[in-house]
A and B are shown apart, each in its own frame.
Chain A
Amino acid sequence: MPIIYSSSQEDLSTGKVDNRPKEQAPLQSPAAKPHHQSKHKYFHSFCVYPEQVSFESQQSDEKVILFLRAHPFTQLPWIISATLGFIFPTFANLFFGPYLSDLQIIFLNLAWHSALLSYIFINLLNWQFNIGLVTNKRIIDIDYHSILYKEINATTIDNVEDVTEKTVGLFSSFFGYGNLFIQTAGTTVNVEFINIPQPMQAVRIINNMMGKKKHG
């Protein structure tokens, strides 16, 4: 009879099977080895304890707790225009084809598709690198617009005065995304995370961290 389920625990890295009863297996207390389960949602737009994210000015004892970028739904306008852009040459070839040579048609199609590739790539970069990071020490906002503009704002958790969440509009309410405004003390630049998914959960996480800092 084929084995459908086996309770033995096989270590995939070594291939060894742990047949010990569960009560005898070594237990690790969460305090002994702090381990946080990594969660990724909405095409990696909302990640709690992301594993493979690091940044330039990260300190050795600094850990990324929350990784945020715009909700995938907000990227729909450029995805639709890119899709239409792919369809356009089909009609253009039918219309202009009789007036052009084969080589010219090939070149114009290549040029159009390479321009479209650039359009998609720039928009993808805009989405992927416009990110917000919450670490155990700081809140960092990396803004990247077009290809020539890059801005990085950072503030320490101690400097955070107030965290405000704003969800305005039909789509943002339906898909659950919104803006997060982090007000800082003094002359430090306020941090804004625009169109992030689950802004309330992000507020909760930042508030928890502020509470932890205040109470040591």
Chain B
Amino acid sequence: MDNLMTLFQGQQTADFAIKLFGILFSSFYIIFSVIVARQVKTLNSTVTLTAGSFYTVIADVQILLSIFLLFFSIFIL
């Protein structure tokens, strides 16, 4: 119990909070970016615009970024 108490004190508390925030944020961001990518696909099939492929690329970049953030928050942070 003492060990648990010392874990949540001072700098360690901040580190733990930031790591937890990082994991939660990245997890939600992955879900969000996948939904956006699917929506972009639907929208591109509904209307064909000149910049349609550009939006698909951005949506894919967003998914990669969210995966990287999750990796960062779990293994590096």
A107–B26 CA distance with the chains assembled, in angstroms: 11
Cα A153 to Cα B49 with chains together (Å): 19
Q: Bound complex: CA of A201 vs CA of B26, how far in Å?
A: 47
Inter-chain contact B49/A121, CB cutoff 8 Å: no
Q: CA–CA, A101 to B59, complex, Å?
A: 31
B10 to chain A, nearest CB (A): 11
Interface pair B36/A118, CB less than 8 Å apart? yes
A52 engages B55 (CB within 8 Å): no
A103 / chain B contacts, CB cutoff of 8 Å = 76-77
- A110, CB-defined interface residue at 8 Å: yes
Task: Judge whether B35 and A53 touch: CB under 8 Å.
Answer: no
Q: Is the CB of A144 within 8 A of B43?
A: yes
A200 within 8 A of B: no
Per-position binary interface string of chain A over residues 143-159, scored 1 when its CB falls under 8 Å from any chain B CB and 0 otherwise: 01001101010000000
Task: List the A side residues contacting B73 at CB < 8 Å.
Answer: 107
How many residues of chain B are within 8 Å of chain A by beta carbon?
Answer: 33
The reply to whether B66 and A114 contact each other, CB–CB distance below 8 Å, is yes
Interface flags, A77-120, vs B, CB<8A=1, else 0: 00000000000000000000001110110011011001101100
B8 at the interface (CB under 8 A from A): no
Nearest B residue to A113 by beta-carbon distance? Answer: B65
Q: Which residues of B contact A75 (CB under 8 A)?
A: none
A residues in contact (CB < 8 Å) with B: 44, 52-56, 99-101, 103-104, 107-108, 110-111, 114-115, 117-118, 121-122, 124-125, 128-129, 131, 133, 142, 144, 147-148, 150, 152
11 A-B pairs within 8 Å (CB atoms) are namely A100-B18, A107-B18, A107-B69, A111-B26, A111-B69, A117-B62, A118-B36, A125-B43, A128-B49, A129-B43, A129-B46
